[in-house]
């Protein structure tokens, strides 16, 4: 466990160095930020104000010291601390990612189970064909198709934005209002599709494997109904790897939300990243990356702990 | 044993037994042909502004142009024939996908073999880099790289190589470690064959085929990723429009009901990706000794 934590901290440090060096090597944000008619003195003043006239390592050191105290610099464009911008947008992204994961798990596992129990039925084949399609469809194009059908042609659902939100413990959430849910449905479905296809495959493979095991034969020999065999013998065994993958994929959902958020103009941190890249808002880019990396590391740790709870054979201490 | 020993004809015959895979193969061949022959097949050169007629902008599929020819897939906001644009876009998408995958495969094989052979701190270093990189989603890594390097066809190929190589490196290293312990390698060492020669002539042919099959499917992934990045405005510049950029262009007109500007490039993208996936899956099934 300690080793895991040390590795996580090292990852974070290396990433911050890489990202910082990379991000600060591109372009000159001063040119974008101030009036093009500004004279030399004004440019120099702006550069000094942003700390851009100092050597790179000094800028990193200032950044590093600030980062330890939770200060990731001030957004060049918005003049607000970058971390504030990220934290403002984070709930929207997390909500979207979690909703997508819920859809993927809620539909993917039952479908995979169906396909795995009767691998040669037409239903299983249809499910598998659809899952291949789900793998192949580029996320952003699915989003466009959904907008085209449900918003433009049928007019059932709104195209963009987040809709009405309700504050829960001071965090604005869409899932508790009807309008918010209507806004959430299309982006979450779009984002879920790829993971859904993945979970169908995983569950199917796991089920097929499990059905051939001795414990299933034994359970049947005891006279248990097929339903009981699946519920109390197959499910617990296949759920372990599935939960692991689902957990780890949550991180990639957060990353892929960048695309979905852009298509649906969902005000999350992914859209913030794209906007910041376009105006070279370095502190926000760095803050986004560090926030995302920290989220990933946190998710990995949580998955490890969950794994130990689900599978009594694994003790958290043994995991290296 | 080595999968490369399978006679090619037997492989082809086995491959053809699956109708869907065979269909995908021919579809893929047709797409490749269309991409290569785009300048001769396309009704117009979509990037020669002299050939575009702004009066023909945003025409629906099947409408006749002012010059009398038919726009089978409609036109975009600049009066560009979508069919021609898709043929040219396919060329770029396939080109970027294949080039980046081949380069990534080469880099992955070299670093994977080096790690397996060298061991020690070199192995440790390469594998830590691989671990670090694989712990982040490809799209995030590619996005950041492109944000740093700017747009351009060489930049996007670089980004796609960077996100793919680590996966091959890990696979090749694992396979090479297994092979290096086998008796034929020992025999070659006893015969005094030079180390590099053993790696290239004995180990590589046994390591390569399974990785190459994975690479087939990876081409589809690379194409999809490139399309996504271009859609976000970080991939290819407007002068070299891939399918992703065409879709992005049409996005603005989607809400006014002009679906064809993004729909057809998307369809072309989808068909390409599905065809590559089906061919790749079939190859993997055939070459996987566990399933045979």
Q: Would the CB atoms of B143 and A138 count as touching at under 8 Å?
A: no
For A140, the closest chain B residue by CA position comes to B228
Tell me the average pLDDT across A214-231.
77
For B243, the closest chain A residue by CA position comes to A141
Tell me: pLDDT of A103 over 80.
Answer: yes
- Is B252 in CB contact (< 8 Å) with chain A? no
Q: Would the CB atoms of A26 and B227 count as touching at under 8 Å?
A: no
Question: Which member of B135, B140, B277 has the closest CB to residue A132?
Answer: B277
| ipTM > 0.90 (yes/no) | no
Tell me: pLDDT of A22 over 70.
Answer: no
Cα torsion B112, B118, B119, B121 to 10°: value is -100
Q: Is B71 helix (H, G, I), strand (E, B) or coil?
A: strand
Tell me: pLDDT of A320 over 50.
Answer: no
Write the DSSP string, chain A: -HHHHHHHHHHHHHHHHHHHHHHHHS--HHHHHS-TT--HHHHHHHHHHTTTTS-HHHHHHHHHHHHHTT---B-TTT-SBHHHHHHHHHHHHHHHHHHHHHHHHHHHHHHHHHHHHSTTSHHHHHHHHHHHHHHHS-HHHHHHHHIIIIIIIS--S--SS----EEETTEEESTTSHHHHHHHHHHHHHHHHHHHHHHHHHHHHHHHHHHTSHHHHHHHHTT--HHHHIIIIIHHHHHHHHHHHHHHHHHHHHHHHHHHHHHHT--SHHHHHHHHHHTT-HHHHHHHHHHHHHHHHHHHHHHHHHHHHH-TT--GGG--
Q: Would the CB atoms of B263 and A132 count as touching at under 8 Å?
A: no
Give the distance from residue A297's alpha carbon to the nearest chain B alpha carbon, in angstroms: 9
Tell me: pLDDT of A59 over 80.
Answer: no
Q: Would the CB atoms of A274 and B266 count as touching at under 8 Å?
A: no
What pLDDT tens digit does each residue of chain B (292 aa) get? 445 555 666 777 777 777 777 888 888 888 888 878 777 776 777 776 666 666 666 666 666 666 666 666 667 666 677 777 888 888 888 888 999 999 999 999 999 988 888 878 888 888 888 887 887 788 888 888 887 777 778 888 888 998 888 888 988 888 888 888 888 888 888 887 777 788 888 788 888 877 888 888 888 888 888 888 888 877 777 777 788 788 877 777 776 767 777 788 888 888 888 888 888 877 877 776 554 4
* Predicted pLDDT of residue A162: 67
For A278, the closest chain B residue by CA position comes to B147
Question: Which member of B140, B148, B228 has the closest CB to residue A23?
Answer: B148
Residue/partner pairs of B67-75 with CB below 8 Å, 24 or more apart: B69/B43, B73/B260, B73/B264, B74/B258, B74/B260, B74/B261, B74/B264
- Select from B290, B287, B267, B228 the least CA-distant residue to B8: B287
Alpha-helix residue ranges (DSSP H) falling in B59-152: 82-118, 120-134, 138-149
Q: Residue B62's CB: how many other CB atoms inside 10 A?
A: 11
Give the distance from residue A26's alpha carbon to the nearest chain B alpha carbon, in angstroms: 6
* Angle in degrees, 0-180, between the axes of helices B204-231 and B82-118, rounded to the nearest 10: 140
Q: Which of residues 102-141 of B touch A (CB under 8 A)?
A: 132, 135-137, 139-140
Q: Would the CB atoms of B277 and A136 count as touching at under 8 Å?
A: yes
The pLDDT tens digits for A249-295 are: 888 888 888 888 888 888 888 888 888 887 777 778 878 887 887 88
Q: Would the CB atoms of B232 and A22 count as touching at under 8 Å?
A: no
């Amino acid at each position: 466990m300690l080793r895991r934590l040390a590795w996580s901290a090292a990852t974070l440090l290396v990433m911050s160095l890489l990202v910082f060096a990379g991000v600060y090597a591109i372009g000159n944000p001063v040119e974008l930020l101030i009036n093009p008619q500004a004279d030399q003195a004004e440019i120099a003043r702006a550069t000094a104000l942003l700390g851009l006239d100092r050597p790179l390592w000094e800028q990193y050191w200032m950044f590093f010291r600030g980062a330890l105290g939770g200060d990731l610099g001030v957004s060049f464009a918005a003049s607000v601390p970058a971390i504030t911008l990220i934290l403002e947008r984070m709930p929207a992204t997390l909500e979207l990612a979690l909703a997508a994961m819920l859809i993927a798990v809620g539909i993917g596992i039952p479908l995979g189970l169906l396909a795995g129990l009767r691998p040669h039925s037409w239903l299983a084949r249809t499910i598998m064909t659809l899952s291949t399609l789900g793998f192949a469809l580029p996320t952003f194009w699915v989003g466009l198709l959904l907008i085209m059908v449900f918003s433009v042609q049928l007019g059932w659902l709104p195209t963009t934005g987040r809709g009405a939100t309700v504050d829960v413990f001071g965090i604005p959430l869409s899932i508790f209002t009807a309008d918010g849910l209507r806004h959430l449905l299309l982006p979450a479905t779009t984002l879920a599709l790829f993971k859904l296809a993945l979970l169908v495959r995983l569950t199917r493979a796991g089920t097929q494997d499990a059905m051939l095991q001795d414990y299933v034969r034994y359970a049947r020999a005891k006279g248990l109904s097929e339903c009981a065999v699946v519920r109390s013998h197959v499910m617990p065994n296949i759920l372990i790897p599935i939960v692991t993958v689902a957990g780890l994929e949550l991180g990639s959902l957060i990353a892929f939300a960048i695309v979905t958020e852009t298509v649906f103009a969902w005000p999350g941190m992914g859209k913030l990243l794209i906007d910041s890249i376009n105006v070279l808002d370095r502190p926000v880019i760095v803050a986004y990356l560090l926030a995302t990396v920290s989220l990933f590391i946190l998710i990995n740790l949580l998955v490890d702990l969950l794994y130990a709870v689900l599978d009594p054979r694994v003790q958290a201490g043994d995991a290296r | 044993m080595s999968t490369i020993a399978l006679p090619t004809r037997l492989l082809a015959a086995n491959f053809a037994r699956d109708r869907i895979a065979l269909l995908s193969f021919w579809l893929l061949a047709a797409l490749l042909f269309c991409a290569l022959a785009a300048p001769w097949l396309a009704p117009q050169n979509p990037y020669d502004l002299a050939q575009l007629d702004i009066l023909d902008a945003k025409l629906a599929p099947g409408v006749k142009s002012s010059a009398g020819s038919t726009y089978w897939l409609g036109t975009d906001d600049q009066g560009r024939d979508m069919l021609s644009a898709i043929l040219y876009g396919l060329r770029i998408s396939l080109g970027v996908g294949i080039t980046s995958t081949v380069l990534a495969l080469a880099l992955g094989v070299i670093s994977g073999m080096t790690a397996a052979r060298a061991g020690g701190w070199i192995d440790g270093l390469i594998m830590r880099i691989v671990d670090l990189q694989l712990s982040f989603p490809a799209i995030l890594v590619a996005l950041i790289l492109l944000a740093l390097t700017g747009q351009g066809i060489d930049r996007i190929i670089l980004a796609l190589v960077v996100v793919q190589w680590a996966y091959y490196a890990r696979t090749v290293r694992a396979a090479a470690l297994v092979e290096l312990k086998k008796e034929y390698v020992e025999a070659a060492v006893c015969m005094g064959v030079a180390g590099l020669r053993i790696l290239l002539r004995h180990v590589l042919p046994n390591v390569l085929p399974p990785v190459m099959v994975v690479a087939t499917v990876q081409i589809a992934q690379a194409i999809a990723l490139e399309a996504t990045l271009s859609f976000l405005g970080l991939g290819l510049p407007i002068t070299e429009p891939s399918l992703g950029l065409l879709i992005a262009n049409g996005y603005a007109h989607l809400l006014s009901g002009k679906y064809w500007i993004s729909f057809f490039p998307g369809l072309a993208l989808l068909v390409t990706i599905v065809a590559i996936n089906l061919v790749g899956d079939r190859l993997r099934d055939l070459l996987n000794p566990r399933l045979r």
